[in-house]
Amino acid sequence: MKREPHVPRVLRPAPLQQRTGVVAGFAGLLAFITMANASALYTILRISDAVAPASRAIIGTILWRLFFALAMLAGFTGWWMVAGRGRRRVAQAEDDQHTDGLLAEIAAHRMTDAALTRAKEAAEAANLAKSRYLVGVSHEIRSPLNAIYGYAQLLERGAGIAPREAGTVIRRSSEHLTNIVDGLLDISRIESGVVKLNRDVVPLPAFLESIVAMFRMQAENKGLEFHYRPAANLPAFVRTDEKRLRQILINLLSNAIKYTPQGSATLTVRYRGLVAEFEIADTGIGIPADEIDRIFEPFERGSGDAARAQPGTGLGLAITRVLAQVMGGDVAATSVPGAGSVFRLRLLLAEPGDALAATARQRLITGYTGRRRTILLVDDDPVQLAVLQSLLRPLGFNVYAANNGPDGIDLALRCAPDLVLLDIQMPAMSGWQVAARLRAIAVGPPDGARLKILLVSANAHELTAGGDGAAAHDGFIAKPVELEALLDSIASQLGLEWQSDTGVAKDMALPAADLAAAASNFAELRRLGQVGHVRGIEAALSTLASEVPASGPLVDQLRGHVRAFDLGGYLRLLDAHG
C-alpha cells in the first residue's frame, strides 16, 4: 500500500495583534537596555573626566563605540528573548489545544463506551426476556396440545367419553392455540405498523354477559368472587371491532384473576357521551410503581417472584395497549403492591344507525335460498379438504376438491364453480399463481357471473384483502377457519340469503308432564324476553335447567339466542313450545 509522504508540522503565522504585541515588547526591552547602557557609559565618562581630563576625547570615542556595540548586542539579545517567548507561547497554545482535543476525544470514547454498555445490557435483557418468553410460550402451547392429543387418543381407542365433551375440549384447546398464534402475528403486525380493524355491529350487553360468564366460572374455580357492575344506560348495540374488543377484555380480566390469589375481581362498565369505560379491579399482588409502564412492553411480566410464577407469554398487555390506541382509546393502570390493581380502558363505542337490523351470528344455518351453487376447494392438505367439505355439503352446495393447483384448474374448467376456496402454499403452483391462471382463462359459473376467489390460508402474514379489481382474489380468510366467518364471507361474495332452523328440534321436545311442570318457567322466560332483561333470562334458564332436567337441550338453544341478543328468535322458540 502506498504511504503518504510525511508533511512536516508548520507553525501558522501569528495574527496581527500578536505580532504587534511582540514588536512592542521588543521595543520596550531594547529601550530599557539602551538606557541602562547609556547611563553606565555616561557615568564612566564623568569619572574619566575627573581622573584624566586630557583623555576625554579618546575615552568618549571608545565609549560611543562601546555604546553602539552594546546597543546592537542588546537588540539581538532582546529580539531572541522576545521571539523565543512568543514561540513558547504559540507552542504552549498548540499543546493546550491538542490536549483539549485529546481530552474531548477521551470523553467521546467514554460516552461511546457507555452507550455500547447500555446497548449491550439492553440486548442481554431483551435476549433474557425472549428466552423467558420461549419457555412460557412452550408451556402455553403444550397444555392445549396435550388436551387435544389426549382426547384424540381416547376417541380412537373407543373410550367411554361423550363425543360432545371431547369436541368441546378440543375446540377450546384449538381456540387457545389460535389465540397464541394470533398474539405472535399481532406483535409482528404492530411492529410493521399494519393493524386492520373491522366495523362490526356488536350486541354490547350480550357480548359482555358472555365474557362475564366465562370469567365468573374461572374465578369460582379459583375461590375468588367475581363482580359485574354494568351501567344502566348501556346501548343495545355498538359499532366496533368485536374480536379486538374481546381480546382486550380477555387479556385484562385474565390477568386480574391470574394475579389474584384471594379476594375478588370486578368489572365495572360505564357509558357516557358515546365513550365506554371498562374498569377491571382486583385485590391481587399489585404492581410496583416503577414497573407500571414496563409491564406494557413485549415479553415483560414484572420482576416479582409471584408474577413470574404465573404462566403466560408476556404479550397480553403489550398487545392490549397498542390495540386500544389503534381503536382510538387508551388503557392505564394504577396499583398498590400487595393490595391490588386497577386497569381502565376507555374507548369510543358509537351506536350504529342500523342496530335493529343487526342479525344474530349464532344461528343454526340449514341452507340458502336460490339456485344451487358450486364451490371448488383447492388445498394440498386432505384434512383441510375434509373439514371444509363436511361444513359446506350439508348446506346444499355442490362441492368439488383438488389437492394441487393444476388439478384445481382442470376441475374448474369442468365444474364451472361459483366460488373457489384456494390455499396459498401448495406444490407445483402457489395459490397466487392458480388465482391468476383462473382469471386469465375466464372460468366462471354457467349464468355468466364473475368467478369469486377466496384465499383460505395459514400464511396470515400474506394477508391481502383483495376485491379491489387489481388483485386476482376477492377475499382472504385465515386458518384455522371459523365457520361463522367463512359463511359470512361466502354469503357476501355470492349474495346468499341463509335459511336457519327456528323450529323445535326433535331432541328438544319435552314430554307432556315436563311441559306442564315448566309452564310457569316458560311464562317467566317469555315475560323477561319481552322486556329484554338478559341477566334475568339467564337466571331463569338456570332455574328451568335445574327444575326440569329434560329441558337441557332446549335451554342450550335458548341461551344461544340470548347470548347473540336474538330476542326475536328466543321468543319464537318459546312460542313453539306453547
pLDDT for residue 279: 94
pLDDT for residue 505: 44
Q: Which of 299-308, 444-453, 469-478, 525-534 has the lowest mean pLDDT?
A: 299-308
Q: What's the grid cell of residue 397? A: 352446495
DSSP string, 257-289: HHT-SSSEEEEEEEEETTEEEEEEEE-SS---G
Q: Map grid coordinates 408476556 to a residue.
A: 314
Q: What are phi and psi of 341, to 5 degrees?
A: -135, 160
pLDDT for residue 356: 40
CB 285 within 8 A of CB 308: no
pLDDT for residue 378: 92
Mean pLDDT (the chain) is: 76
pLDDT for residue 213: 77
pLDDT for residue 566: 64
Residue-wise pLDDT for 309-319, tens only, equals 455 555 667 77
CB 373 within 8 A of CB 398: yes
Percent of the chain with pLDDT over 90: 8
pLDDT for residue 244: 83
Domains and CATH numbers, the chain: 200-351 (3.30.565.10), 366-495 (3.40.50.2300), 506-576 (no CATH)
CB 366 within 8 A of CB 395: yes
CB 140 within 8 A of CB 180: yes
Q: What's the grid cell of residue 129? A: 426476556
CB 298 within 8 A of CB 262: no
DSSP 467: -
Distance CA 178, CA 141 (A): 10
pLDDT score of 395 more than 80: yes
CB 256 within 8 A of CB 281: yes
Q: What's the grid cell of residue 64? A: 560611543
pLDDT for residue 355: 40
pLDDT score of 256 more than 80: yes
CB 296 within 8 A of CB 323: no
What pairing do the DSSP bridges indicate for beta strands 264-272 and 330-336? unpaired
Q: Map grid coordinates 328438544 to a residue.
A: 508
Q: Classify burial at 481, counting beta carbons within 10 Å of its beta carbon; exposed 0-12, middle 13-18, buried 19 or more.
A: middle
Give all strands (DSSP E) within 395-489, no chain letters: 398-402, 419-422, 452-457, 475-478
Q: Classify burial at 174, counting beta carbons within 10 Å of its beta carbon; exposed 0-12, middle 13-18, buried 19 or more.
A: middle
Q: Which of 66-80, 139-153, 220-234 has the highest mean pLDDT?
A: 220-234
In terms of residues, how long is the chain? 578
Q: What's the grid cell of residue 79? A: 529580539
Residue-wise pLDDT for 468-524, tens only, equals 555 778 888 877 677 777 888 888 888 888 876 544 444 455 665 666 667 777 878
The residue ranking higher by pLDDT, 465 or 284, is: 284
The residue ranking higher by pLDDT, 562 or 226, is: 226
CB 423 within 8 A of CB 379: yes
Span 428-432, average pLDDT: 86
The residue ranking higher by pLDDT, 2 or 84, is: 84
* Confidence band, pLDDT 50/70/90 cuts, at residue 61: confident
CA dihedral angle for residue 162, residue 164, residue 166, residue 168, rounded to 10 degrees? -150
pLDDT for residue 4: 46
pLDDT for residue 464: 57
Closest C-alpha to 402, from 380, 372, 418:
380
pLDDT score of 89 more than 50: yes
pLDDT for residue 468: 53
pLDDT for residue 206: 82
Span 349-372, average pLDDT: 65
pLDDT for residue 312: 53
The residue ranking higher by pLDDT, 273 or 511, is: 273
pLDDT for residue 335: 87
Residue 446 CB coordination number (10 Å):
9
Residue-wise pLDDT for 157-191, tens only, equals 776 677 777 777 777 677 767 766 766 666 666 55
CB 451 within 8 A of CB 417: yes
The residue ranking higher by pLDDT, 140 or 557, is: 557
Residue-wise pLDDT for 204-222, tens only, equals 888 888 788 778 877 888 8
3-state secondary structure 206-250: HHHHHHHHHHHHHHHHCCCEEEEEECCCCCCCEEECHHHHHHHHH
* Confidence band, pLDDT 50/70/90 cuts, at residue 11: very low
pLDDT for residue 228: 92
Residue-wise pLDDT for 293-329, tens only, equals 777 776 555 555 555 545 555 566 777 887 888 888 8
Max CA distance (Å), the chain: 171
* Confidence band, pLDDT 50/70/90 cuts, at residue 10: very low
**DSSP 3-state assignment of 532?**
coil
Residue-wise pLDDT for 376-392, tens only, equals 999 888 878 888 888 88
- All residues at 6 or more sequence positions from 306 whose CB lies less than 8 Å from its CB, including other chains: 259, 285
Q: Which of 20-34, 50-64, 94-108, 307-321 has the lowest mean pLDDT?
A: 307-321
Distance CA 456, CA 447 (A): 25
pLDDT score of 455 more than 80: yes
Span 351-359, average pLDDT: 52
Q: Which of 3-7, 147-151, 197-201, 357-361 has the lowest mean pLDDT?
A: 357-361
* Confidence band, pLDDT 50/70/90 cuts, at residue 38: confident
pLDDT score of 28 more than 50: yes
